[in-house]
Structure 1
Amino acid sequence: MKNNFNDIVNNFFKNYQDRGMKKWQGFMLSDHIATLNRDKEEKTRVYSEKDAMSETEISQALLQAFANNKVVSVQLKEKTLDKKIQPDIVGLVKGYDEDKIIIGDTEVELSNINNIQIN
């Protein structure tokens, strides 16, 4: 009986062809398309330039946000390679390092800030 079972199992695996990734393709494809659509939407989004603020106004807003533990949205002066406005950097003001402000996990040069809004 045991020998017969081993023969059946061995025979099964000799003729068995695993579909491999084919069985997962439908799942992966839908996630991949959703990610590509999100990326495409993000790349085609156009951000408008906000009014420029003075360095004093920016410093006061940063100090107020830091003191009150508020989230800020920071628009940079620096544009992308194709001359578009970058998306705002959003986060808590965590501190500073020389002339750089730490917002969330991003270091931003004070001179590169165009506009700041306290959320």
Structure 2
Amino acid sequence: MSKLKQIDDDVLVQRFFDHDYQDRGVVKWQGFYLSDHTAALKKQARQEAVKHPAKTQQSLEEMSAILSDAYANGKRVSIQLNARNPNGEFVPDLTGPVIGYEDDAVYLADQPPVSLSEMRHVTKIS
């Protein structure tokens, strides 16, 4: 393809988009939303609508005792972190069995390690 032909094609395409093409915006994408996609969006909206109220701040000794007991007896715990989402609400609690600890980090199954300083409240789940 010659350089002159390429330039003419580029000019023709640009002229088409500048003068002839009418973009329909979002309307053209609505047919692509599948039922499973809309169901996933609804599920996400329901999860985001759930509020996680503040629990009382426990001392490090209280939290350590609960975590130690849960680790020794293979029990599950629920941990509320001090972290908040962009709306200022507490993030969902981390739950799972305590599978280990190291220094001030606690390991729950299927969760990232959590530092004691990041925790607000620990509850043992029966």
TM-score (norm 1): 0.73
Q: Which residue of 2 aligns with 1:53?
A: 58
Q: Deviations over 1:50-89 (max 9, x none)?
A: 1111100000000000011001000001212221101000
How do 1:16-35 residues align onto structure 2 when only pairs under 5 Å count? 29-35=34-40
Give the unaligned 5+ runs of structure 1. Answer: 1-24
The percent of aligned pairs where both chains have the same amino acid is 31
Q: Deviations over 1:79-101 (max 9, x none)?
A: 12221101000001111132211
Divergent runs of 4+, >2 A = none
SS of equivalent residue, structure 2 residue 34: helix
Q: Distance in 2 between matches of 1:35 and 1:97?
A: 37
Q: How many pairs does the alignment contain?
A: 94
Q: Which residue of 1 aligns with 2:14?
A: none
Question: Which AA in structure 1 matches 2:102?
Answer: D
Give the unaligned 5+ runs of structure 2. Answer: 1-30
CA RMSD of aligned residues (A): 1.7
Q: Which residue of 2 aligns with 1:117?
A: 123
